[in-house]
Amino acid sequence: MSSFFIKGKPRTEKAAKRKFEKTSSNKKEKIPRKEKPPAESEEEIDSDQEEELSAAAAASKKKFNFDDEDEGIVETPQDKRLRLAKKYLNEVEEIERAKREDDELHDGITKTLREDYLDSVGKLYREVSDNYFGFDLAGAVTLKFKQQHLSPTCLCLTEDDRFLYVANKNGIIVRWDLNKKEKLGSTKPQRTSVQSMAISYDLKFLVVADGTNEIKVLDGTSLETINTLSGHSNVVTGVVFRRNTHQLYSCSNDRTVKVWSLDEMLYVETLYGHQSPVTSIDALARERAITAGGNDHSIRIWKIAEESQLVYTCPATVNSVECVRLIGDEHFLSCGTDGSLSVWSSGKKRPLHTVALAHGQTSNGEANWISSIATLLNTDVIASGSCDGWVRLWKLVGTGKKIEPLMEVPMEGFVNALKFTADGKRLIICVGQEHRLGRWWSLKQAKNRTVVLPLNVVEKEIIGNVNKVL
């Protein structure tokens, strides 16, 4: 009995086990078994630890710049809003930056066009005198040609400030390269002293008033004679080109002003009005010329197209008006044998301001003649020279209503010609032992030479100043 129950019990358990395993196997084949999620840690995490883990995850995401699509990174709604906000701000910043660049470009173009227009009509005015703080006498360059041993009388400069032409009392004209500080060519000596010169904008023509009643036309590069203009009945005292043209104006001791066209090498017309020899002439872009009438005490602006003239009468104290220079089409500068320096407005018949005895007096109480003047075109800086041992720079205060000293440059001898370079950084000075018009007085201690004097200028300011209309 006992053996029966011992053997029977195992069979029942084995059969039940096989039946169960068979049934389980069949169910597994028919229905895929789902994977159970990983068992959670039995350790408990408090709320502080959870916040620290979230912050670390966010920091890790920011550090490695994960995108939303990066595998394993889940972007919270708050992170997404922050990301989209940053993206939008970047887009707005790019749009505003492009807009500012367009505005700056537009403003730059507008400013340039405005300056070009004001310059063309002579109303561009820049206040730059406050940017000058001295000069570099040690850095000055002396240009001297051995055959040009007499006093220099006049000069002219190309518009790009590169080529300088200097003439003297023995009629020699020397062409200099200012960039290389070297002589490029010269003419032969003449019996007469050169009174005035002018170079055309394209260097095609160099016109010379050589102390006769004729005007010599030379090639601006080779200095070879091209033609001779005849028409004046007395010594030609001044020549000037209308800017950016081949229209030439000349003045003479015959009391006339003549207009020439060098494209055809033809005389155009004669302008009458002065009652004494015309001593000086100047012109800018408009079809106008300005002249000084010497002993008739007048300055005249010739409106050539309108066939009219404006007459300005100098004070009775001025014995002779020796030189006149345009500051712009609306203002001009004059000097006389009484040592006075005057600034004028084209809209008024009297000077705006006059500096009497601008270069002092001689030992016997006579005024030092002002032998030359120069203007930095369309600015408030001017210069004057005499024989007192100084070149004086002045500034125009109150839009040209008053002349005040700016600086003094020691320069022994007669200052016969002055010229600013177009950028205002250099002043060219022709100085000699004798006055350009005569030999009644000589300063033996002086040297006949041409000096290129660097001026100390705040460069960024001289270009970028605010423009004012005169």
Q: Evaluate whether residue 182 is within a structural domain.
A: yes
pLDDT tens across 53-79, in order? Answer: 555 555 544 444 444 444 456 788 888
**Which residue reads 């003239």 in tokens?**
309
Please name which of 392, 398, 407, 359 lies closest in space to residue 380, comparing C-alpha atoms.
398
The yes-or-no verdict on residue 224 having pLDDT over 60 is yes
Yes or no: say if 236 and 258 are a contact pair by the CB < 8 Å rule. no
Q: Evaluate whether residue 14 is within a structural domain.
A: no
Query: How far apart are the C-alpha atoms of 180 and 214, rounded to whole Å?
Result: 33
pLDDT band for 460, please (50, 70, 90 cuts).
low
pLDDT tens across 427-447, in order? Answer: 999 999 999 998 888 999 999
pLDDT tens across 363-390, in order? Answer: 888 999 999 999 999 999 999 999 999 9
Q: Count CA atoms within 13 Å of residue 56 on its CB side.
A: 6
Token couple for 76? 């919270």
Phi, psi of 461 (to 5 degrees): -80, -35
Q: Count CA atoms within 13 Å of residue 257 on its CB side.
A: 29
Query: How far apart are the C-alpha atoms of 393 and 403, rounded to whole Å?
Result: 10
Query: How far apart are the C-alpha atoms of 413 and 153, rounded to whole Å?
Result: 12
Between β-strands 225-230 and 214-219, what pairing exists: parallel, antiparallel or unpaired?
antiparallel
pLDDT above 70 coverage of the chain, percent: 80
* Residue-level pLDDT at 101: 77
Q: Evaluate whether residue 69 is within a structural domain.
A: no
CA dihedral sign of residues 209, 214, 220, 223:
negative
The yes-or-no verdict on residue 13 having pLDDT over 50 is no
Q: Evaluate whether residue 391 is within a structural domain.
A: yes
Q: Evaluate whether residue 72 is within a structural domain.
A: no
User: Mean of the pLDDT values across residues 22-40?
Assistant: 46
Query: How far apart are the C-alpha atoms of 60 and 66, rounded to whole Å?
Result: 9
User: Mean of the pLDDT values across residues 245-273?
Assistant: 97
**Collapsing DSSP states into helix, strand and coil, what is residue 275?**
coil
The yes-or-no verdict on residue 260 having pLDDT over 60 is yes
> Bridge partners of 21?
none
Between β-strands 173-177 and 124-126, what pairing exists: parallel, antiparallel or unpaired?
unpaired
Name the residue range of residue 156's domain. 127-469
List the single range of 34-38, 355-359, 442-446 with lowest mean pLDDT: 34-38
* Residue-level pLDDT at 66: 45
Burial 257-271 (b: 16+ CB within 10 A, else e): bbbbebeeeeeeeeb
pLDDT band for 189, please (50, 70, 90 cuts).
very high
Q: What is the largest CA-CA distance in the chain?
A: 170
* Residue-level pLDDT at 72: 54
CB atoms within 10 A of CB 235: 17
pLDDT band for 325, please (50, 70, 90 cuts).
very high
* Residue-level pLDDT at 12: 45
Query: How far apart are the C-alpha atoms of 148 and 55, rounded to whole Å?
Result: 88
Q: What angle do CA 440, 445, 449 make, to 5 degrees?
A: 85
User: Mean of the pLDDT values across residues 403-420?
Assistant: 97
The yes-or-no verdict on residue 417 having pLDDT over 90 is yes
Query: How far apart are the C-alpha atoms of 141 and 137, rounded to whole Å?
Result: 9
Token couple for 67? 């995108």
pLDDT tens across 101-118, in order? Answer: 777 777 777 777 776 766
Token couple for 415? 């200052």
Please name which of 265, 241, 238, 262 lies closest in space to residue 250, comparing C-alpha atoms.
238
* Residue-level pLDDT at 365: 87
Q: Evaluate whether residue 2 is within a structural domain.
A: no
Q: Evaluate whether residue 97 is within a structural domain.
A: no
CATH number at residue 333: 2.130.10.10
352 CB contacts (<8 Å, ≥6 apart)? 342, 343, 344, 345, 400, 401, 402
CA-based R_g, the chain, Å = 44
The helix/strand count (H/E) of the chain reads as 4, 31
Q: Evaluate whether residue 243 is within a structural domain.
A: yes
Query: How far apart are the C-alpha atoms of 97 and 103, rounded to whole Å?
Result: 10
Report the number of distinct structural domains present in the chain.
1
The yes-or-no verdict on residue 47 having pLDDT over 90 is no
**Collapsing DSSP states into helix, strand and coil, what is residue 114?**
helix
pLDDT above 90 coverage of the chain, percent: 65
